[in-house]
Structure 1
Amino acid sequence: MWSKSGDRIKTILRNTCVCTLIILSVSKTQAKQSYEDIYQAQSGWHLGMAAGYGKVDNPVYQGRDIPLVLIPKFEFYWGDFAINNSQLIYTPWQNHSTTFSFLTRVNEDGLYFIDDLLAASAGAAFFQRPFMSDGGPSQQKAITELPLMRGNMERIDDRKISVLAGMEVNHDWQDWRLSAAWYQEVSNYHHGNEAFVSIAKAWHGQSHLWLTSLELQYQSEDLLQYYYGTRLADWVAGFGRFQPDSALNTSIKISYRYNINQQWDFIAEARAQRLDSMLNESPLLEQQHLYSFFAGFAWSF
């Protein structure tokens, strides 16, 4: 059964221990930016707010897309420690071009199962990886001999938002960034893990900045079984059996920022994600290609 939005928000706040928000813009840059300006943050507080319109596609059967209107920014950097978007970060080693960090993240798959749009929108603003905050060829596999059956989404077993902790390595070269990260679930819901490999390229001028990134995301069998596999309560609700394997998802993101003055920017970002073909067999999903976007004005202070 889908949980009430109040219980969802309490669970989110209890598990994360921080209220950190996604910002779609990048750090302030000067007219002649180097890759350090683009990818590396300055010490202290970085606060702001973006207002505009956007949405996050919901792949769940009968799920409604999640709207985005306000995207706050709350970041703090102090020595080797940081609060950055929805993450707690400890960076014990770094040089001028490479960093190694231990960090946490919130898994956004649980957002798709929140039935209250306002709560889902707030959750997306708090916890989703920046989208303006996935790959190679995948092999489709027959998971079950039964036909794809769908039932009553109001009666399925509860899926909670989970918290993961792990490590990340970033390497910068000129206007390029290569990143790799691994996370293990620590909130004791599914014991799954995720890994990411991404490459990003920046183009910048006097007032303009473009960022393009490609990402490959690995999700383990335990994580996918918790969110998109089916179990007894789901079968009783009328859904067919599905036991997923691990998956590889791919995504591309394109971001743009125009610096109006010292405090104001126009920002826009679009993200397209393709889920592993194996997930087409899940009766809880009805979309393989997901799209997210946001455009608006950001104020930093």
Structure 2
Amino acid sequence: MKKLAVLLLTALILPFASLANDAAMCDENSDCIAVGRWDLGIALGYGVKSNPVKNYEDIPIYLAPTIAYYGDKWFFDNGNLGYTLAEQEKFTINLTTSFSADSAYFYRWDPSNIFIAGTNQLNVGATPVARTVRTFGVEAEPVINDLEDRNFTLLGGVEAFIYTRAGIINLSVAHDLFDVHSGMEAKLKWLYNIAIAQWKFELAAVADWKSEDVVNYYYGVRPSESVYWSEKFQAASATNLGLELTTQYVINEHWELIFLARYSELADEIVASPLVNEKNTSTFFVGAAYRF
């Protein structure tokens, strides 16, 4: 209950990339992409994505591109490929690829920092120096050496959109396609759109589950990084909870002003990692977007 209370009192963001909903859902309250048409856009402004990994700096956001195309079955949406298996008035089922949000904390050019977070600007701070700290003759817990690579991988799986009067329910399950960590991720997301004159609002609540393999790969400690912490920290599956808000003010056919906010409370199993020094992450972006 404490976690839910914190989430409900916190404002957040959903990237302004378009969702392809059922034709029945494409009205003035939602952003849909016409079949057979490229959707290209770019937003300029300022924002920040916080980085919970120790000694890695927060990520500034200046540029947020949108690149999407939807055919009768196949689609491309901000770097992800998909294929529609079934499409009805009340639901859509797709096979799709997706990016890991966790690898974005370790790499400047991770696609999650370009398309999902809307930035490719990542300032990486210095990693800790290998040493053991002594205080008054007592040996303290050793710090962590330079981190080994956390490689990029592509996730692949199935997703479903269920359209209701109370909003859209999005369910997805995905597996590591490149066998980098051999883990799985699953997501439950609720979205609700509101349109008032030239204003558009989209609210979302998210539960993001990660298997033990995912948590261990990104937040576990290798023996080369610290023998002590590699034995001390034991990874486990985890579920992050989040809230999101997107606000758009439509100026004309091409221009709009946007405000994005996102808050995610990290699971205790991730916060317990010696690589993590924050219990939550947040993102905001304010700017102007142009759609070609």
Relative to the length of structure 1, the TM-score reads 0.77
Corresponding residue of 1:63: 56
Runs (5+) with no aligned partner, structure 2: 1-13, 120-138
Corresponding residue of 1:136: none
Corresponding residue of 1:9: none
Aligned counterparts of 2:237 and 2:140: Cα–Cα separation in 1: 20
Aligned counterparts of 2:140 and 2:90: Cα–Cα separation in 1: 49
Matched to 1:95, the amino acid is Q
Corresponding residue of 1:203: 194
Pairwise CA distance, 1:86: 2.9
Matched to 2:183, the amino acid is G
Q: Structure 1 stretch 35-44 or stretch 157-166: which is displaced more?
A: 35-44
Aligned counterparts of 1:227 and 1:52: Cα–Cα separation in 2: 30
Q: Structure 1 stretch 184-193 or stretch 105-114: which is displaced more?
A: 105-114
Secondary structure of 1:223's partner?
Answer: helix
Corresponding residue of 2:93: 100
Corresponding residue of 2:208: 217
Pairwise CA distance, 1:151: 2.3
Aligned counterparts of 2:161 and 2:113: Cα–Cα separation in 1: 24
Matched to 2:103, the amino acid is G
For the pair shown, which has the larger CA radius of gyration, 1 or 2? 2
In the alignment, does 2:276 pair up with 1:285? yes
Corresponding residue of 1:42: 34
Corresponding residue of 1:159: 150
Corresponding residue of 2:105: 112
CA deviations 1:239-284 (Å, max 9, x no partner) are 7631211001100001111110011011111000001112222101
Secondary structure of 2:65's partner?
Answer: strand
The percent identity for this pair of structures is 26
How many residue pairs were aligned? 255
Corresponding residue of 1:275: 266
Asked if 1 retains the 8 angstrom alpha-carbon contact of 2:100 and 2:112, the reply is no
CA deviations 1:113-132 (Å, max 9, x no partner) are 23xxxx35x7444343679x
Runs (5+) with no aligned partner, structure 1: 1-21, 29-33, 132-146
Asked if 2 retains the 8 angstrom alpha-carbon contact of 1:150 and 1:240, the reply is no
RMSD, matched Cα: 2.7
Corresponding residue of 2:238: 247
Pairwise CA distance, 1:289: 1.0
Pairwise CA distance, 1:171: 0.9
Pairwise CA distance, 1:149: 4.5
Asked if 1 retains the 8 angstrom alpha-carbon contact of 2:15 and 2:117, the reply is no
Aligned counterparts of 1:108 and 1:205: Cα–Cα separation in 2: 32
CA deviations 1:25-46 (Å, max 9, x no partner) are 5479xxxxx8433164311100
Pairwise CA distance, 1:175: 6.0
Which protein has the bigger helix share? 1
In the alignment, does 2:116 pair up with 1:128? yes
**Map of 1:81-92 to 2, 5 A cutoff?**
81-92=74-85
Asked if 2 retains the 8 angstrom alpha-carbon contact of 1:86 and 1:129, the reply is no
Corresponding residue of 1:19: none
Corresponding residue of 2:164: 173
Pairwise CA distance, 1:196: 0.3
Aligned counterparts of 1:150 and 1:257: Cα–Cα separation in 2: 48
Corresponding residue of 2:256: 265
